[in-house]
Every structure is written in structure tokens, then in C-alpha cells.
Amino acid sequence: MSLRVIIIVLDSVGIGEMPDAGEYGDLGSYTLGNVARQRGGLKLPYLEKLGLGTINSIMGVPAAPHPEGSFGKMAEQSRGKDTTSGHWEIAGVILEKALPTFPRGFPNEFLERFEAAIGRKVMGNEVASGTEIMQRLGEKHVRTGMPIVYTSADSVFQVAAHEDIIPLPELMRICQIARTMLTDELQVGRVIARPFLGEVGEFYRTPNRHDFALEPPYKILLEYVQERGLEVCAVGKIKDIYAGRGVTRSVTSKGNMESVDKTLKYMTELETGLIMSNLVDFDMIYGHRNDVEGYARALEEFDARLPEICAALRSEDMLIITADHGCDPTLPSTDHSREFVPLLVYGPTLNKGVNLGVRSTFADLGATVAEYLGTKPLANGKSFYAEITRGSI
């Protein structure tokens, strides 16, 4: 059989606060439920059919009497609530210590060494919204050529620069130097190049963002799949998140719908193996900007594409829809939130309506994919392979 697994990560689409949410300042977080409540309901008929409303109560998304997919939710066992830790755990890596964050900016001693290494002074060095700091410091950047350095509640070191002032190759060189230097206690999850264009007061980001990720500390699902002789196709920022490990083919995308388009294209090309896609708009454009209506529309736009995705599945395919953390746009914070993530599993020949319960780690997903594709087992996670396949294929 030519088995394939398609994993779609709805970036930040959390499904309710975890028991330790208070430790992260995230009490009351429920990205899906709060967006639905504040919006007056969501219309997600295809996710509803798979079992989304059966996991938790979501206004406008009732529990399906006979779900077509298997359903549950997963807890993050790693410390943290960011993109890197969430995706790594899906792939089998559990972090006992959270990746460092820098609520007061990066140490002056590091910045002095960084400036010497890149041959430029920098500005900023604060926790900030990327779009806000770009407008606030953009004019000075254009005038002086000083890159804008900033961070967020995540473990990130971000460098923003106007493409006409610091050309893309130079910005990528600067970020690669930062990646090399950020080690030990300063070992951030991602260094992110944030290029922009435009005039003063009207600066805008370009799609040329690039993430320089920390290497996972041990072997991940994608590598096991590749070692099995199967292809691993990455869509969106998946390749960057995993530092390219195990990826055989990759393509970037400029938004959720383009990510869906490119996922569908891979589904027409891939004979056997893994396709993994990240749909980033939920998080980047709507969650971090507290845009409830935009978030709701994006969910409904994705739901409307599900029939195409399901129609492209072959008989032995497995489709998994999940998330990596929350980012509740209804709360005052613009940060990620410590939430459970949904787990929906569907395939034409897989068992239907299986309640997968509350999984103790995202790694259960990776363990299941590893068993399904016949790879060596991952270091972490308990497979639910038998529950969804017994007597089905």
C-alpha cells in the first residue's frame, strides 16, 4: 500500500486553557470558543462533521451525532507555548526547560558583540509588535541603516530592515550571524528576518520573511520518515521550524489559502510519505493583532476548503488537523496562550467517530504517524494507531 499522511497545523487554533495556564498568565484562554462567542457563532460545517464540536463546546459548531473523523485534544507536555516547542513536540521532542524569552530585551553585552560581528549598530532591543515597531522606528532605520532588533513573548530574536536599505542577502547574513551567536542561555528558538518596504508612515512587510530555527536536540518524526525511504513535503514555515531536518521537498507560501493550494498540489504529486503544512495567518495576522472577526473569517475560509482536501485523499491516506498552541484574540494580551490543541483524524478507510480523549502530549500524534508509515518509534508519545485502524485497512 502507498500510505500517506497529511498533517495540517492551524497555527494558534487552541481549544481551551490547560490546567497550568495560570502559570503563563493565560487563565480564560479558549481561542476557538472565545472567538465563536464574541463573534456570535462560527459556521464550520465540515470541521463539525469531522468532530470539532464534539471535542469542546463551540458556539455555532454543535457536536456531530456521527462524526466522520476521530477526535480529541492534546496537552503540551513541553514547557512553553510557542511555535517551536509545539511543532517539535508534534514531531516527538519534549522540552523539559522552556526556551528562553527576553521580556527586557537582550543583554547589552550580547548586542555589543553582535554589532561588532555584523559591522552595524542596531536599534530597538525591546518587546514589541513587529508592525508597530516598523512604523515607529522605520524612518530612523531608513536614515541610519541601523537594523531594528526586537523580540516578543516567544523565544525569538527578530531583525527588521527595509529591503532598499539592507538588501535581502545582507539581512539573511545578519540573521545567520545572530543564529550562530545565540547559544547557551541565549539559545532562542528562532531568529527571524523581517524585511519590509514602503515609505515613512506606510511601511509594509514583504513575503520574504525567513526563520533561522534552533536545531532540535534529537531525531524527529520527519527524519524517521525520510530514513524509511519516504518523501517529506513541507508547506509554509515547516522547513524553517525544523531547521530543514528530514525535509525532502519544501515550498513557502504567502497565506493560508496559498498553503492549502500548495498542500493540494503535493497531494497530486506525492506517491507515499508525509505532507506537513502550517497555516500561519490565524496566528500572525489575526491572533497577535486581537482581530476576532478576521480570525473567525479565516477559520471559515479554511473550513470551506476542507471538501477539496478530503476529495484529494486516496483510500489509505490519513489526514490530521491540529494546532501548536493558542493565541486568543479576545483577551487583552497579544501573546500566545497555553491551551490544549484540537486533534481531528480522518481517512476514507479509517475508523470513524473514535473518541481519542485528552492526549497527555502532542507527541502522541507523531508516534501514530510513525507507526502508520512503518518507521522506527519516536522517543516520546503513545500511538493511537490501533484505535483508528483496527479492522479498517
**Position 391 pLDDT exceeds 80:** no
Q: In this structure, what DSSP letter does residue 59 have? A: T
What is the structure's pLDDT at 63? 97
The percent of residues in the chain predicted with pLDDT above 70, rounded, is 99
CA distances (Å), origin 279, targets 43, 108, 283, 378: 19, 35, 9, 25
CATH architecture of 4-97+217-389: 3-Layer(aba) Sandwich (3.40)
How would DSSP label each residue in 109-178? HHHHHHHHHHTS--EEEEE--HHHHHHHHHHHHHHH-PPEEEE-SSSEEEEEEETTTS-HHHHHHHHHHH
User: What is the three-class DSSP state of 193?
Assistant: strand
The answer on pLDDT for 40 being more than 50 is yes
Instruction: Check for a shared fold between 4-97+217-389 and 108-213.
Output: no
Mean pLDDT confidence for 268-273? 96
Residues 6+ apart with CB under 8 A from 243: 213, 214, 215, 216
Q: Which of 184, 134, 181 is nearest to 159 (CA)?
A: 134
Q: Average of pLDDT values for 25-35?
A: 97
pLDDT at 392: 46
Q: What digits encode the pLDDT tens for the residues 71-126?
A: 999 999 999 899 999 999 999 999 988 889 999 999 999 999 999 999 999 999 99
Grade residue 334 by pLDDT with cuts at 50, 70 and 90. Answer: confident
Q: What is the pTM of this model?
A: 0.91
Architecture of the 108-213 domain:
2-Layer Sandwich (3.30)
Show me where the domains of the chain are located: 4-97+217-389, 108-213
Beta strand spans in the chain (E): 4-10, 70-74, 123-127, 148-151, 156-162, 190-197, 204-205, 210-213, 231-235, 249-251, 273-279, 318-322, 341-346, 355-359
